Structures are given as C-alpha cells and as structure tokens.
Amino acid sequence: MAIGFFGVALFLFLGLDFDQGSPSPAYAASSEGVEITYGTVLKLMHEKTKFRLHSHDVPYGSGSGQQSVTGFSGVDDSNSYWVVRPQPGTSAKQGDPIKSGTIIRLQHMKTRKWLHSHLHASPISGNLEVSCFGGETESDTGDYWRLMIEGTGKTWKQEQRIRLQHVDTSGYLHSHDKKYQRIAGGQQEVCGVREKRPDNIWLAAEGVYLPVTESK
C-alpha cells in the first residue's frame, strides 16, 4: 500500500500543471470529512457494487473505439486513479474546494486521457458509452461532468455520495453487475444513463488528497 501511495504522491509533485507556484502538501485520506480539492488524485467507488472506476490502454471493440472504461474490483490497481481537474477557462486552482453543481473533469492518471461520454452505445447494455479520450492538450465538452452531491453538503467531501452528470448528453455516470466475458478480472460495464437511479451513486475512496488552499 505504501508503494502505491508514494507513487501517486510523486505524480502529484512532478506532474500537476496548475499555475500557482509550489504545490500544497499531499496526504492520504484516512478519515471522514476530508475535503476533495482540485489536484486530488483519487479512486471513485461505485456504491452498490464497490467496484472502482477503471481504465487502461485497451480500446473498445465496438462503438467509438476509444479507450475503454470499466468497473474493477481490485483496490490496489493503479489504473483506477483519476486526477480531479477544473473546467478550462475558469479561475479554479489547485487546492480549491469543489461546490455541488460545479463542472469538473477527471483525468486518468496513467494514460492522461479524460473521462468522456457521447452518443455511442455502450457495449453490454446499449446505454451511453463512457470512454477515455484526448490528452494533455486535447479536451472538449465531452469531458465535462457536473458534480451533484446527494444530501445537504455544499462542497465535495470524501464520505459524501455523489452523482456525475455528463454535460453534453445529460447521462449520469453509471455501473451495474453486468460483466465483460472476455476481460480478465470480472470487470463490469460503466456507462451513462439519463435517469437518476441507485446505480448512479459514487464515493471517493483511496487517494492522495490536497488540502484546501487558504485564501491570501
């Protein structure tokens, strides 16, 4: 577990590109109430199945042919880490808290592509396909997700139940127990659906969290 932590911490200190000088100290989340800020590296856990949002450099064999996104049961896999990024053109910076209703992007740590969706059909259920697309200098509105906190919370914290609604298609990030037969590890489909359902709920799990940057 320590190897994974230090690997992610190294990425944080060497790889983040927010223009604000020295990076804030990072820490592993170990208790409730931890604020999730821009620059945080985390895993998103599907509440119902406990699988983590996952991607790797393997394209879909149908639909868009873009990099596939799945749900994975393993806790220690580094392909399940995502960097929380702001929408381009905003004043948001590393260490800022994220309010409910804010549009964010999630960048896959390993491949540097963005969590993406569009109108292609997902492979198993025929819902909206969710993929990874683009790169450091290539991102479009298909990478925009609106953070929706369930309950009364106003800013995103680790223990809060959330939904992510895709801006272009209105689909909610969704998973279920339908699994791919030809992918090792019993990985399950991740897709988008336009209705609020219990299978739309996610929670922030393992990660390296950046503390809130105090205003000067």
**12 and 210 in contact (C-beta within 8 Å)?**
yes
Structure tokens of 35?
């604020």
Which tens digit of pLDDT belongs to each residue from 53-105? 999 999 998 889 999 999 999 999 999 999 999 999 999 999 999 999 999 99
pLDDT of residue 213: 82
CATH 2.80.10.50 fits 2-209, yes or no: yes
Angle made by CA atoms 120, 51, 154, in degrees to the nearest 5: 85
pLDDT of residue 33: 77
Which tens digit of pLDDT belongs to each residue from 23-64? 445 556 555 679 999 999 999 999 999 999 999 999 998 889
pLDDT of residue 28: 61
Query: Looking up tokens 């929380």, which residue turns up?
Result: 84
- pLDDT above 70 as % of the chain: 82
Per-domain residue ranges of the chain = 2-209
Entry pTM: 0.87
Which tens digit of pLDDT belongs to each residue from 109-167? 999 999 999 999 999 999 999 999 999 999 999 999 999 999 888 999 998 999 999 99
